[in-house]
Amino acid sequence: MVLESEVVKLQRTLYTSGNPTRRWLHCNRRALIIDAMKRSGSNGRHERALEVGFGSGVYLPVLSELYREVIASEIEDAHLRLSHVLKASHPNLNVIFDDITRTNLPEKHFDLILCTEVVEHLADSAPAIAAMHRLLKPGGILVLSTPQRWSPLELTAKVALMPGIIDVVKAIYREPVIETGHINLMTEKEVTGQLQAAGFRIRERFTSGMYLPLIAEFLGEFGLRLENFLELKLKHSRFSWLLWTQYYIAEA
């Protein structure tokens, strides 16, 4: 069982990792999501936003600047306990316990919902995506991200995070490493199908995150330059499924 303190420590480490590839994967994803939020206003409405599963809260300051009222929902006690720090500096932020699969939030209430790196932790994400559609006002926007099923990073993680092997990985990174808990990895077709079945119209989709096993771990900045080069080649090709993360901007 993973201790709560390990989860919190891991999320803090990801954006400052000593490994160039690990740091870049997470910082670049953060930058892409922030950019998506900033240019995805719901027909000029910036009244209410919701983040589903806010984790370490890295996006909440930006949401609090963009929207008059922000609700941050979470089910993990470790993250809920740390939220008082964010609330103190952002008076328009309200942090609550809420499970999106059986949410108590009001329908047609939000102009924007952010859901990043959450649905892969749900055994069945379709009801959660349908619930987010109900929570959005007509024309409201969902910004969603989730790993791609067949990306090298996810395939490598299945082996690297097995008992015994994970200790070797920790020794290589010299940073917190825990099992991902990704029980619902989907392809682009599967995510698109769930969004459309819920009633969303996909405005935009894109991918990012090239990871090369061993090269990422042992070739440092040179390995990162190689991964950057390959990502640029792949992201607009039929091989974009090799990149780690898929992103969607969808309208209710």
**Which range in 44-58, 69-83, 232-246 is most confidently predicted, on average pLDDT?**
232-246
Token pair of 209, please?
Answer: 């995150």
Nearest Cα residue to 26 out of 66, 64, 55 = 55
Least confident of 34-38, 155-159, 170-174, 195-199: 170-174
Tokens 């979470």 found at: 74
Find the Cα–Cα–Cα–Cα dihedral 210, 215, 218, 222, rounded to 10°: -70
- What are the pLDDT digits (tens) for 170-209? 787 777 776 788 999 999 999 999 999 999 999 999 999 9
Token pair of 78, please?
Answer: 């470790």
According to the model, what pLDDT value does residue 9 have?
Answer: 60
Q: CATH code at 113?
A: 3.40.50.150
Provide the domain limits for residue 226: 4-98+105-251
pLDDT at residue 55 is higher than 50: yes
Q: Who has greater pLDDT, 54 or 44?
A: 54
Asked whether the beta carbons of 72 and 100 are under 8 A apart, the reply is no
Write the CA distances from 96 to 5, 50, 51, 93, 128, integer angstroms.
Answer: 20, 11, 10, 10, 17
- What are the pLDDT digits (tens) for 215-247? 999 999 999 999 999 999 999 999 999 999 999
- What are the pLDDT digits (tens) for 115-128? 999 999 999 999 99
Which residues share a beta bridge with 116? 145
The pLDDT of 151-174, averaged and rounded, is: 81
38/14 Cα distance (integer angstroms): 23
Structural domains counted in the chain: 1
114/244 Cα distance (integer angstroms): 19
Nearest Cα residue to 207 out of 120, 135, 128, 144 = 144
210/14 Cα distance (integer angstroms): 16
